[in-house]
Structure 1
Amino acid sequence: MYRFLPLSYSYLHALKLGCTSSHRSLRFMETIQQRSQSLKELLLKAWRERWSDVQWSTHMKRILPPGVSGDAYKLTDIILTQAFVGPNPNSLMLSYLKHIIVSQVVSHTAVLSTIIEYETVCITRPYCMRGLLEILNGCINRINCQGSMEECLTLCQSFLQVIHWLLHSITLMLDKMPDMRDLQVMASNLDIISEILRITCTSRVNKLLLFVAKLEDKATWTEIEETVSSIRTTLFAIQSQQSQEQPTRSGSSQLDQFLSAPRTTHASQGANKKDKGERTTESIRERLERSLQEVLRLAQLDSSPSPCSNSLELKTMSSCIGVMTFMEAALNVTGDLQPFVDQLLLVEQLQNLPRASVYLELCQASLLGLIDLPDTCEELKWLAFTFIKLPQILARMKQSPSPRDSTDSALHFISCFEQLLRFNVLIDQADTKHNCDCMQQLLQQCSKLGLITENQLRELLAARSATRRAPVQSRSSGHGSHESPQQLPNSTLVIRAEPTSTSILKKWDMDYSKNPDELLGVLGHMMSGKSFELIIAVLATTGKLKKFTAKLIKFNEQACKQTQAEVTKGSQVRAALFDISFLMLCHIAQLYGTEMVTSNGGDSFFETWVQQCIPDDNGAKPLGSFPAVEPSKGDVLLSQYHSGMDIKTMQARWNEVIDTMPYIMQEVLFAWENGATNVDQIQKLIDNVASKLCCLPICCVAWLCSHIAVLASTERNRALSLLQIICSHQASSQLGVPLQIYDNERNAMMQIIIRKMCSTSPVTNPMAKTSRDVPSLPPATPATQVLSSVFAEIMDKGCVDRRTLALVDQLITCGGVLWFCRGVVLEICSLHCKNDLTMAVEVAFALFQVDIEQLTLTLTRKVLPRILADPLNFEKLSNPRGHALARLTVWCIAATLTNHTSSRDSKCKESPFRLLRGRKRPRMDLDREDSSVLKDEARPSKIRRLLSVGDEDNATSTLTGSVNYSTGFLVAQTLQQLNEPFPRALVSLFQLFSSLMSSSMIGPRTEFVISFMTEIIHCSEHIASGVLQFAPITMMSQMLNTSSGQFLLDLALAIGRVDSVVARRLAAKALCHNKTGRF
């Protein structure tokens, strides 16, 4: 027996509402069907009574509800169905359709969507096809949409589908025309279609609409490309059949005649009457091929638009490249090649430079660097850069086509070298200084890489011989010369050292643990003369120095350990290997930075020691970083040194001996200060220490430098005297023949290393017996004044030298990135002339390459917000100064984004570090510095009001606490992306811009935002999309709504290229609304 349960009131209410909703939907559908039927009856009545289009419109609006489009009742489909009842179109019906299209009773989306449904009408009813083409030709330049973003994007897709429908119709007509009777009508239809395609693809707005649709509907675009290829194949087949004497079909010959017959038509069938005087005589085939080419060119909108005319004039030369080249050769010689090439290509694109001018600036800066050299080591670095790395840079740039011109890349090199030969005074000075033919060697290296041919090489060398004023000896070429290496110029030795260094790396892949004598011979031979400096200079230039140091560290680590069944000679060889490898690694660390020996991420003894003990450019290391040893072990070694006893090499662990040297120096210094020993005894002890290994005095000096740094000026006398004794000592090995053979070489390298360590501090610098080759900041001159003078000097010269570059590096080190960035911006804002501002932006951008990421973050998150917030700075933002500052900001952002891309694509990813132009710092140190820069000063209240949630602390909490916030950009961002420093800086900057654009006051600040966006949209697609993805949707929508003209079109293109549906919707809406109003 069933029991009926009572239904709840809520359930009954929901059931009632559902029934009511279904009833309303059904009644609504019935209403639509009734009105559609009424429209059909009205249409037939209008045709019978021959109403005019105005009468038809008046009666039709009585049926349609107010404000309701005819799309809901499929009015376009109703009219076309009635118009195409017979083989010929009903002209009266078509006039009704044209009227409601003009009066916007139906949308263009509905019209286009209805037209593409007639797939085969082009061959079944060619006259009806002509009617469709007339309708399409009438609205092709008036396409618009007043609806939402989704409706505008749908219109773009319908527009693209119409293009595919036209191309598909061409394919059908070409296939069926040989069997058709109405060839004249179909040929005329082909002519009209080609004209519609031409008109469509010559309008910039139409091309942008189709480009947005192409990005949204990639499947349709693929079908369009396939259809174009099919049409070209068909046209070629028809032409080939006509060229034969016996065509396969009788209609093919007649078809080809129709296609090839010249037709005189107006230049634009849709033009005004006053424009119909221009006539063109082309065949249908020619017009079709030209239209097909125009359709395929729609994809070329992927390339960035041409730079717009602005207050900053573009030049054919750039001072920026010269400064960047000098920095790369002087500060970043060990860096990877590709990041620098990417920066050069970026500058070329940003400044719209000819490729030949970029090559010329590179070569000219390299020759200038060859003249301004302080010592042999720097000379070898520059020679290796000029004759080895520079040709590789040119070859790498050759692989990337020039965005400005498509001429042969070989012509770019010829033009570059021909212009370079005009600087004969510069080349003569370089030849005289280095006693070689610099142009000959550079051109020969370029010829080896295939940049120029042998004939071009001979012509350029002949041109150089005609302009040479300072003759050089024939041995300078270095090819076929039988002179000794000591008599050859350094440039020739550097070029010869490249294959030698490569062969050494290959040989070192062998296992030398069983035959250490052979390895010792190779290392000893490398220490003779300038061999070692030449090899490491070439390895640094080619990016192989880290691999070389990794192998040296491996050999040094093996020499630390005692092997079983080790004989006396074997232990002496082990000691020699440890000493020589230790000296080589110290020398490399001092010349090219400690990261060259520590970036491998190992935990070897030398890597640990060099990080904890050796002084660097930042000064001596703290005493607490030196390893602690057991006093008993230190006392045993100290007694041996005092007594002059030999260390038993068979029992020695050289890493432990190294670690005990600070303890021994501390005990000796303590005994001397308390009168327990005298100078003679100390001298004897130092003799005994130095007679063991040359690396031991180096360890003593390292500890003394750190010890002296913490002493008061009155307590340094004994420590300085002890340091003087060590520096003036000449070591002589007493550990056996293997070390005695290389006494001179080891002593020379030891003295170089010790002097370099002493020169890192002003207190110990007199012990180096040489003046510091790096200029220092004037002690009595304010740093701001030094920065102004350096900036003005670079602008006057258009280039930098060694002294200027060193001062810039020291200014950043002393003042910090915030002070330096603010000072450079103030220097730019103090100028007024457009040419000076152009030069200042180039110089500032080049100087920022010293630490581009940190300076960009500081500029966008600290300097710009303060300038934009303070009303007293409005004068600095007025054009052309504001435009110059906006351009500098965009360039820095583009350079940072390019660096990030290069680091991701590079094969040698250096994840724990960020590059600092020749030096590296750990990521955590940079983040700590970044946070300290951002929090060292409290933001003023105006900035807090402008930024809203853009303040760093508030922004961080907002970004990490709200998922909806990440969807407010053109591209939805993950929380991990927003927590990165660079994306967070862009988000903060765009938030500030959004606050400024929403303000009711229009002035220099809003003009600065417009200038910023103008520069962004004229960058490459990768840069523009990478930056605009962080732009707020509301800000972009507001800018599109308030913009007009060419800027609107360029902005819509840049937004549409962002890989996001929201971005494409915004672009489509702006373009569709633009068609109806302002443009």
Structure 2
Amino acid sequence: MKVVNLKQAILQAWKERWSDYQWAINMKRFFPRGATWDILNLAEALLEQAMIGPSPNPLILSYLKYAISSQMVSYSTVLTAISKFDDFSRDLCVQSLLEIMDMFCDRLSCHGKAEECISLCRALLSALTWFLRCATFYAEKVKEPLEQAAAENQLKMCLERLEKVLSSTKNRALIHIAKLEETSSWSTVEQSLVKLGENLNNLGSSPLRSQADDCVSLIKSIPTMLSVHSEQLNKTGFPTVHAVVLLEGTMNLTGETQPLVEQLMMVKRMQRIPSPLFVLEIWKACFVGLIECPEGTEELKWTAFTFLKMPQVLVKLKKYPQGDKDFTEDVNCAFEFLLKLTPLLDKADQRCNCNCMSLLLQECSKQGLLSEANMNNLIDKRAADKENSPSLKSAENANIQPNPGLILRAEPTVTNILKTMDADHSKSPEGLLGVLGHMLSGKSLDLLLAAAAATGKLKSFARKFVKLNEFTKQITGEISKSGPVRALLFDISFLMLCHVAQTYGSEV
């Protein structure tokens, strides 16, 4: 059967009961390489077919989940497709859509051009409107005696996901960007809030009412994220810097530092931010991102961003004219201010299981951003503050090595590995196999990739893997001892490349 369109391909897969990975392989065979799945609206096509009946089609939904997990489709197209579903009377379909959102709403990111990042912001705004319509529908159904229990259960699931999305400062910042881009869409959100408010009285004083009120408050706070409310805030708070840093740390770890430096300098000049408060805001944003990021790979990315990339950004900021002022003194002053934010530092220390401030100060000193005397003075002050802080060590995490220390140690290792891979291994590839084997132990690979991404060496890393992969294919049919070694090198380098593409995007 010749496939002529996306819908036909999906129906064929369903009729023949293809598994998810079999479906993905066949889809890539059916369609040309030039068109991306987002351009073909794959996410929308899958959801449209999955939601035809009163309950979702589990097989077609499994295709969508596979497409999300393997990054065949972007988060923005999935959110946009979900926001187009409006038959909230089909409870099982709504539940499935909420479960799909669970897959990625706590780690929204975007690998690509600025336009794609803006698309994610707009899609999140559309999803917010969808959440509000969904909550309004079930809040209205609560007043019907026969529907009350089911409606309350559906409303509970909806509000839990909405609160999860809104509890992230990063997500609210993305929605704020979309609001600035599309004021008409924000008007729709405001109208939806009014309709939801009219139906909240049906909930009485239940926990659901309290949860809904919390969500409404968070939504209403979004337009004021970049506003100045008081003279005090005008002097010390600069949320634009916070938003720029959070966006960069979340979406563009692999990007060059110079564009970020230029963006930050533009904000500094436009808002006339004093240098010490400017640097303070950068570090505050880094620590907030470190505290809020999900565990696993995202945590390693944020750690590398905070402890490796941002000191490099400050080194470039140092080169801009500062008038008569010494930038190192501004950095020292910023850290003095940061020391006063004890709860923030304590929370970061608990999350990372180490003294984050001390490690950051040492890295800044190494980069020439702080004098040794100022560094030691700040470290001593933080040590004195920590005497009254919650204990970091517990029975569970006493043996866990802190990620910041591992990331800082991984950075020079990246350079050494790149040099090792440049050497000629045609005669004795066993040594290289040992190096790659060491990289695969534990979470070493993720640590090294995060360090490479933060220091601008990830593309170099990927090129070396490609070169190694090609090198192992040059000599075929070997009977010598190096034959199995070459086969292993091919497998390992291929899997590493796949992991890099899945974690940081194929454009790397």
TM-score (norm 1): 0.25
Report what 1:536 is aligned to.
449
1:412 aligns with 2:330: yes
Summarize the alignment of residues 191-206 of structure 1 with structure 2, pairs less than 5 Å apart: none
Once the two structures are TM-superposed, the CA of residue 560 in structure 1 deviates from its matched residue by 2.6
Contact 1:436 1:472 in 2 (8 A): no
Once the two structures are TM-superposed, the CA of residue 568 in structure 1 deviates from its matched residue by 5.2
1:470 aligns with 2:382: no
Paired AA for residue 518 in structure 1: G
Give me the whole-angstrom Cα distance separating, in 2, the residues matched to 1:356 and 1:456.
Answer: 15
Q: Deviations over 1:194-219 (max 9, x none)?
A: xxxxxxxxxxxxxxxxxxxxxxxxxx
Paired AA for residue 592 in structure 1: Y
Give me the whole-angstrom Cα distance separating, in 2, the residues matched to 1:359 and 1:392.
Answer: 13
Once the two structures are TM-superposed, the CA of residue 561 in structure 1 deviates from its matched residue by 3.4
Equivalent residue for 1:456, pick from 354, 374, 386: 374
Give me the whole-angstrom Cα distance separating, in 1, the residues matched to 2:342 and 2:399.
Answer: 28
Q: Deviations over 1:915-955 (max 9, x none)?
A: xxxxxxxxxxxxxxxxxxxxxxxxxxxxxxxxxxxxxxxxx
Paired AA for residue 395 in structure 1: V
Once the two structures are TM-superposed, the CA of residue 506 in structure 1 deviates from its matched residue by 1.3
Equivalent residue for 1:552, pick from 439, 442, 465: 465
Contact 2:342 2:385 in 1 (8 A): yes
Once the two structures are TM-superposed, the CA of residue 465 in structure 1 deviates from its matched residue by 2.3
Contact 2:280 2:335 in 1 (8 A): yes
Q: How many residues align?
A: 273
Q: Deviations over 1:168-214 (max 9, x none)?
A: xxxxxxxxxxxxxxxxxxxxxxxxxxxxxxxxxxxxxxxxxxxxxxx
Report what 1:592 is aligned to.
504
Summarize the alignment of residues 769-784 of structure 1 with structure 2, pairs less than 5 Å apart: none
Paired AA for residue 462 in structure 1: D
Contact 1:333 1:540 in 2 (8 A): yes
Give me the whole-angstrom Cα distance separating, in 1, the residues matched to 2:311 and 2:282.
Answer: 10
Report what 2:429 is aligned to.
516
Paired AA for residue 445 in structure 2: F
Q: Matched residue of 1:515: which SS?
A: coil
Report what 1:845 is aligned to.
none
Contact 2:428 2:482 in 1 (8 A): no
Summarize the alignment of residues 274-313 of structure 1 with structure 2, pairs less than 5 Å apart: none
Q: Deviations over 1:635-681 (max 9, x none)?
A: xxxxxxxxxxxxxxxxxxxxxxxxxxxxxxxxxxxxxxxxxxxxxxx
Q: Tell me, which stretches of 5 or more residues in structure 1 are unaligned? A: 1-311, 476-484, 597-1079
Summarize the alignment of residues 243-258 of structure 1 with structure 2, pairs less than 5 Å apart: none
Equivalent residue for 2:494, pick from 579, 582, 594: 582
Instruction: Call closer, same or farther: CA 1:589–1:514 in 2, change over 3 Å.
Output: same
Once the two structures are TM-superposed, the CA of residue 373 in structure 1 deviates from its matched residue by 2.0
Give me the whole-angstrom Cα distance separating, in 1, the residues matched to 2:432 and 2:485.
Answer: 10
Report what 1:443 is aligned to.
361
Equivalent residue for 1:326, pick from 225, 243, 246: 246
Once the two structures are TM-superposed, the CA of residue 474 in structure 1 deviates from its matched residue by 9.4
Summarize the alignment of residues 943-958 of structure 1 with structure 2, pairs less than 5 Å apart: none
Summarize the alignment of residues 602-613 of structure 1 with structure 2, pairs less than 5 Å apart: none
Once the two structures are TM-superposed, the CA of residue 458 in structure 1 deviates from its matched residue by 1.7
Once the two structures are TM-superposed, the CA of residue 472 in structure 1 deviates from its matched residue by 5.4
Contact 1:516 1:574 in 2 (8 A): yes
Summarize the alignment of residues 819-858 of structure 1 with structure 2, pairs less than 5 Å apart: none
Give me the whole-angstrom Cα distance separating, in 2, the residues matched to 1:346 and 1:523.
Answer: 43
Instruction: Call closer, same or farther: CA 1:592–1:508 in 2, change over 3 Å.
Output: same
Instruction: Call closer, same or farther: CA 1:315–1:401 in 2, change over 3 Å.
Output: farther
Instruction: Call closer, same or farther: CA 1:435–1:356 in 2, change over 3 Å.
Output: same
Once the two structures are TM-superposed, the CA of residue 554 in structure 1 deviates from its matched residue by 0.7
Contact 1:334 1:543 in 2 (8 A): yes
1:339 aligns with 2:259: yes
Q: Matched residue of 1:406: which SS?
A: coil
Equivalent residue for 2:305, pick from 377, 385, 403: 385
Report what 1:974 is aligned to.
none
Give me the whole-angstrom Cα distance separating, in 2, the residues matched to 1:531 and 1:576.
Answer: 19
Once the two structures are TM-superposed, the CA of residue 473 in structure 1 deviates from its matched residue by 6.2
Q: Deviations over 1:17-47 (max 9, x none)?
A: xxxxxxxxxxxxxxxxxxxxxxxxxxxxxxx
Once the two structures are TM-superposed, the CA of residue 399 in structure 1 deviates from its matched residue by 1.1
Paired AA for residue 287 in structure 2: L
Paired AA for residue 374 in structure 2: Q
Q: Deviations over 1:783-820 (max 9, x none)?
A: xxxxxxxxxxxxxxxxxxxxxxxxxxxxxxxxxxxxxx
Contact 2:353 2:393 in 1 (8 A): no
Give me the whole-angstrom Cα distance separating, in 1, the residues matched to 2:432 and 2:299.
Answer: 29
1:368 aligns with 2:273: no
Equivalent residue for 1:489, pick from 375, 382, 402: 402
Q: Matched residue of 2:422: which SS?
A: coil
Instruction: Call closer, same or farther: CA 1:387–1:320 in 2, change over 3 Å.
Output: same
Once the two structures are TM-superposed, the CA of residue 318 in structure 1 deviates from its matched residue by 1.7
Once the two structures are TM-superposed, the CA of residue 486 in structure 1 deviates from its matched residue by 6.7
Give me the whole-angstrom Cα distance separating, in 2, the residues matched to 1:497 and 1:512.
Answer: 23
Alignment RMSD: 2.3
Q: Deviations over 1:388-424 (max 9, x none)?
A: 111111111111123xx53222221121011111110
Paired AA for residue 521 in structure 1: G
Paired AA for residue 437 in structure 2: G
Equivalent residue for 2:484, pick from 560, 566, 572: 572
Q: Matched residue of 2:481: which SS?
A: helix
Once the two structures are TM-superposed, the CA of residue 538 in structure 1 deviates from its matched residue by 0.2
Summarize the alignment of residues 1032-1071 of structure 1 with structure 2, pairs less than 5 Å apart: none
Contact 1:435 1:472 in 2 (8 A): no
Instruction: Call closer, same or farther: CA 1:474–1:429 in 2, change over 3 Å.
Output: closer
Q: Matched residue of 1:532: which SS?
A: helix
Give me the whole-angstrom Cα distance separating, in 1, the residues matched to 2:380 and 2:441.
Answer: 38
Contact 1:315 1:351 in 2 (8 A): no
Give me the whole-angstrom Cα distance separating, in 2, the residues matched to 1:532 and 1:576.
Answer: 17
Once the two structures are TM-superposed, the CA of residue 574 in structure 1 deviates from its matched residue by 1.7
Once the two structures are TM-superposed, the CA of residue 567 in structure 1 deviates from its matched residue by 1.4
Equivalent residue for 1:422, pick from 311, 318, 340: 340
Give me the whole-angstrom Cα distance separating, in 2, the residues matched to 1:346 and 1:530.
Answer: 38
Larger Rg: 1
Q: Matched residue of 2:425: which SS?
A: coil
Q: Matched residue of 1:460: which SS?
A: helix
Give me the whole-angstrom Cα distance separating, in 1, the residues matched to 2:254 and 2:342.
Answer: 30
Q: Deviations over 1:312-348 (max 9, x none)?
A: 9994432111011011111000001111011111111
Contact 1:555 1:581 in 2 (8 A): yes
Contact 2:352 2:404 in 1 (8 A): yes
Give me the whole-angstrom Cα distance separating, in 2, the residues matched to 1:508 and 1:472.
Answer: 43
Summarize the alignment of residues 150-299 of structure 1 with structure 2, pairs less than 5 Å apart: none
Report what 2:70 is aligned to.
none
Once the two structures are TM-superposed, the CA of residue 470 in structure 1 deviates from its matched residue by 2.5
Q: Matched residue of 1:436: which SS?
A: coil
Q: Matched residue of 1:391: which SS?
A: helix
Q: Deviations over 1:541-571 (max 9, x none)?
A: 000000011010011112233346x215322
Give me the whole-angstrom Cα distance separating, in 2, the residues matched to 1:423 and 1:457.
Answer: 18
Contact 1:380 1:537 in 2 (8 A): yes
Report what 2:4 is aligned to.
none
Give me the whole-angstrom Cα distance separating, in 1, the residues matched to 2:476 and 2:503.
Answer: 33
Paired AA for residue 323 in structure 1: A
Q: Tell me, which stretches of 5 or more residues in structure 2 are unaligned? A: 1-229
1:399 aligns with 2:319: yes
Report what 2:165 is aligned to.
none
Give me the whole-angstrom Cα distance separating, in 2, the residues matched to 1:454 and 1:472.
Answer: 28
